[in-house]
């Protein structure tokens, strides 16, 4: 499925990050239907030109792309269970949430059973990045799905890179947080950014000390 055309998108989670991101997708020409527990968030999406759904099922049914931007693993697991029931086979699922690699791998495995294409795509730069469409996006999944999702990433982010298989995006995000937080302040790697790690071959990167530390810290 090529996504360089106008796509129908179901977007779940319209908070301080998801709301602006959904708005950018509308501005890019996509048909966005959103769902959020807060009515106020739905009104903002409608004001931006999107549509509001009354449930997860309504938001995702028949859509080309399904997106989630949720706070924790538990919410992702619960919402994804509904997505599995209602998304059409062949749909592309992109999770922008920051969750554990284990949960990201679970969504990929379960999605594959239902014919869904899955990418984990946690972001950095925070709320300003979401508002200004300058997010840095670390993507885990297949190269084909990454290429197909580029129009989405281009609408909401400034930089986006495929860093490895499903779950790798979450590992790189966690490693980036460790580096930025100063965990490796005394290490020669202290000045490395996630882009430097992303240029490392995935197999070698995933076996590196930083990746191992990040994976342990995020489980």
Helices (H) and strands (E) in the chain, counts: 11, 9
User: What is the distance, to the nearest Å, from the Cα of residue 192 to the centroid of all Cα atoms in its chain?
Assistant: 23
Of the candidates 46, 88, 158, 173, the residue annotated as catalytic is 173
CA distance 198 to 195: 5
The full 3-state SS of 159-216, as one line of letters, equals EEEEEECCCHHHHHHHHHHHHHCCCCCCCHHHHCCHHHHHCCCHHHHHCCHHHHHHHH
The residues with which 9 forms a beta bridge, in sequence order, are 32, 65
Bridge-based pairing of strands 123-124 and 117-120 is unpaired
CA distance 167 to 106: 9
Q: Is 102 one of the annotated active-site residues of the chain?
A: no
Which residues are catalytic, by number? Answer: 173
């Amino acid at each position: 499925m090529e996504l360089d055309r106008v796509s129908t998108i179901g977007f779940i989670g319209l908070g301080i990050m998801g709301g602006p991101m959904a708005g950018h997708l509308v501005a890019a020409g996509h048909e966005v239907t959103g769902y959020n527990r807060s009515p106020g968030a739905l009104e903002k999406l409608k004001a931006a030109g999107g549509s509001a759904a009354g449930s997860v099922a309504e938001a995702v049914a028949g859509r080309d792309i399904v997106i989630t931007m949720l706070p924790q693993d538990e919410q992702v697991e619960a919402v994804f269970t509904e997505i599995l029931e209602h998304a059409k086979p062949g749909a592309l699922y992109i999770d922008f949430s920051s969750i554990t690699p284990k949960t990201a791998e679970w969504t990929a495995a379960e999605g594959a059973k239902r014919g869904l294409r899955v990418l984990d795509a946690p972001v950095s730069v925070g709320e300003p990045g979401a508002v200004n469409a300058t997010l840095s996006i670390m993507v885990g999944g297949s190269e084909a799905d990454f290429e197909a999702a580029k129009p989405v990433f281009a609408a909401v982010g400034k930089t986006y890179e495929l860093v490895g298989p499903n779950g790798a995006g979450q590992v790189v995000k966690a490693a980036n947080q460790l580096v930025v937080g100063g965990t490796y302040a005394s290490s020669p790697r202290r000045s490395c950014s996630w882009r430097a790690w992303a240029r490392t071959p995935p197999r070698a990167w995933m076996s590196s000390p930083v990746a191992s530390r990040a994976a342990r810290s995020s489980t």
